Amino acid sequence: MAEHALIFPNARGENLVGVFHEPLQTPRAAMVMLHGWSGTRCGPHQMLTRAARLFCEHNYAILRFDFAGRGDSDGDTELATLATMQGDARAAFAWMRAQTPAPLLVLGLCSGCEIAVASVEDSLGGAILWSAPVFAALPSEERAAKKRGANLKKYARKLLNPSTYAKILRGQIDTQAVSKAMAGGGGAASKNLESNQPGQLPRGFRNAALEKWRAFEAPRLQIYGGADPITPEALGWYRDNSGREADVALIEGANHSFYGLDWEHQVFERTLEWLGKWQREREK
Does 255 engage in binding with another protein (CB under 8 A)?
yes
DSSP letter for 68, please.
T
CA-wise closest residue to 116 among 60, 35, 25 = 35
Does 158 engage in binding with another protein (CB under 8 A)?
yes
Q: Which stretch binds another protein (CB under 8 A): 98-106, 210-218, 240-248, 249-257?
A: 249-257
Does 260 engage in binding with another protein (CB under 8 A)?
yes
Does 221 engage in binding with another protein (CB under 8 A)?
no
Whole-number Å distance between alpha carbons of 62 and 92: 11
What order of strands is seen across the sheet that includes strand 60-65? 2-9, 15-22, 60-65, 29-34, 104-109, 126-130, 220-225, 247-251
Query: Radius of gyration of the chain from Cα atoms?
Result: 19
Q: Which stretch binds another protein (CB under 8 A): 200-208, 209-217, 247-255, 268-276?
A: 247-255
Closest CB to another protein among residues 263, 278: 263
Q: Measured at the alpha carbon of residue 255, what is the angle toward residues 251 and 256, in degrees to the nearest 5?
A: 100
Closest CB to another protein among residues 139, 260: 260
List, in sequence order, every beta strand (DSSP E) within 39-133.
Answer: 60-65, 104-109, 126-130
Whole-number Å distance between alpha carbons of 214 and 216: 6
DSSP, collapsed to helix, strand or coil, labels residue 254 as coil
Binding mask 9-48 for another protein (x = CB under 8 A): ------x-xxx-----------------xxxxxxxxxxx-
Binders of another protein in range 43-72 (CB under 8 A): 43-47, 49, 70-72
Binders of another protein in range 168-197 (CB under 8 A): 172-174, 176-178, 186-187
Whole-number Å distance between alpha carbons of 75 and 70: 8
Contact of 243 with 217, CB cutoff 8 Å = yes
Closest CB to another protein among residues 105, 264: 264
Which residues in this chain contact another protein in the complex, by CB under 8 A? 3, 5-7, 15, 17-19, 37-47, 49, 70-74, 77, 154-155, 158, 161, 164, 167, 172-174, 176-178, 186-187, 225-227, 229, 252-255, 257-264
